[in-house]
Every structure is written in structure tokens, then in C-alpha cells.
Homo-oligomer: A and B are copies of this chain.
């Protein structure tokens, strides 16, 4: 990986810590959990999600407002209306919010409302979008492409950094395989490798990897055990009524239970998973 300059461990002696808010940062000793639905559907839905998750060790909210859908006839997201929902919930519950941008034109509105901008798997090598996000003053969550090699993934982050934005978090979310029992194959070997190759934080999305909710808790625990800096997990007040990816959404109760179960695993590998307020003090220390 000769061309991996800015992202590589040899470039930066320290581990990058990407800050989402005063209280939340990814890449330090504390493991971070991001939760929320596949798509923002309504203020009531997001209120319910935030109210429940804010009582647990969940540190940030996710929710798509611009949705990359295989079919042009599927729900494409609430757009700006959804961004306003995210901002309102963020302000009320003090949880930073993350949402996806699919085009250069969406960067300005999303950056105005969200705390972190996600590049989805299908856009991992949308190089013009990567360049444009290099000029944004918000952190970037870069998801691995459906069949991107580790080298291509790292070089996509290099694009963002080379254009000026050093705050990139990598996200492994499963790769394509020959077996359709799981939606994708979670590649934790890539997580381990990325943490050795780069100084950027690496988080894991077990929801899109598994595609089946009953597989997610065990995979989430495995991700923490192998050194991931955090998790992004889909959950919904009524999973079966989710407008998209219903099969992989956890109920809010299952999400809270899962997060609790992560704490001893984090401790077993020398990390911590704590509620935001405690986290704030420690990160500041």
C-alpha cells in the first residue's frame, strides 16, 4: 500500500481520535456505540429511539434521510425534513447524530444539521464525493464498499484526507460472498488489519453484515473483542414496521440489553464502554 500516506501508521505516531461532540469521541479508550433506525421515518419514531437509547450506553444516533435504494420505486428518504428531525432529537437528548450523504449537493444541508457525515458502501469509490468531503469541517464515517479490498478502503480514506479532512472513521459492514444465509460476511480480519495499518478509528456495523437480527449481538461482542473502536447498530421501536431493512433491526429493548452485554467484553480487552457523562470526564482527562 505504497500510496497510503496520510492514513498509514507510519505517517502519524498517535492514534487518531475523532470527536463527534464535546462528550463523544471515537478512537480513544472508550468504545462508542451508535444506534438508530435504518431510515428516519418521523419525529415520533426518533423521539422514541432517543428516549430509550439515551438511558443506556449509546453515544450517538443514526438515521438515514437520503437512502440509497436498489429500486427507484423504493422509499428514498425524508430529505431535509428528516434532517430537521435529527437535529431536534439531537438537541433534546444531547446525542450527536450521523446520517448519509449521497451526492455533493447534499453535503451542505447535511453538514448544517448532522454531527458526522456518512459515506455509504455504494459510494466508497465515488471519488468526486470523497474529494468534496475533504473540504468539510465535520467528521466522516466511511463505510467499506460491498467488495472493496482493504487497500481500496484505505485509499478511499486517503482521498478524504488528501483533500483536507483528517477526521475519518472507517466502518467495516460486511462483504459480499457466495453464501446468502447471512446478508454479507462480517470481515473482522479486516478490522484487525486496518487497526494495524492505519491510525484511524475503526468501527463495525454488524447489522448490515448479518442481515438477521438474531445474529447481531454475538457479532457485536466479537467486534469489540477484536479491537473495534465502536459499533453502529440498527434498531427500531417496532422492527417489523421499519420501512427498510426490517429483518435486521433490533427492538429498542434488545438494543439496550446488547449494549449492557458489551461492557464486560470491552473490559476483557482493556477498553471501556460507559455512559456519555462518565465518558466526557474521562476523555477530557
Task: Name A residues whose Cβ lies closer than 8 Å to a Cβ of B.
Answer: 3, 5, 68-74, 102-106, 122-123, 125-129, 131, 145-147, 149-152, 155, 158-159, 162-163, 174-182, 185-193, 196, 209-210, 214-215, 218-219, 221-227, 264-265, 267-269
Contact = CB atoms under 8 A, between A and B. Distances in A.
A102 B131 CA distance: 12
Q: List the 3 closest A-B pairs by CB distance, nearest first.
A: A225-B225, A103-B128, A147-B147
17 contacts: A69-B127, A72-B131, A72-B155, A102-B128, A122-B126, A122-B127, A146-B146, A151-B181, A176-B176, A178-B178, A185-B187, A185-B189, A189-B215, A192-B219, A193-B215, A218-B227, A225-B265
Given A68-B125, A188-B219, A181 B149 contact: yes
Nearest to A5: B73
Give this chain's copy count: 4
Given A70-B125, A188-B222, 15 more contacts: A72-B162, A122-B125, A122-B127, A150-B179, A175-B177, A175-B178, A176-B178, A177-B177, A179-B190, A189-B215, A189-B219, A196-B214, A221-B269, A222-B226, A265-B265
A221 B215 contact: no
Contact of A182 (B190, B223, B268): B190
A3 B73 CA distance: 7
Nearest to A150: B181
B186 A189 contact: yes
A71 B5 CA distance: 10
A76 to B, nearest CB: 8
Contacts of A125: 68, 70, 122-123
B176 A189 contact: no
Contacts of A174: 189
Nearest to A223: B222
Nearest to A262: B268
A108 to B, nearest CB: 14
A74 B152 CA distance: 13
Contacts of A128: 102-103, 105-106
Given A155-B70, A265-B269, A192 B218 contact: yes
A227 B225 CA distance: 12
Contacts of A267: 264, 268
A91 to B, nearest CB: 28
Contacts of A268: 221, 225, 264-265, 267-268
A145 B126 CA distance: 12
A215 B189 CA distance: 7
Contacts of A214: 196
A278 to B, nearest CB: 19
A126 B123 contact: yes
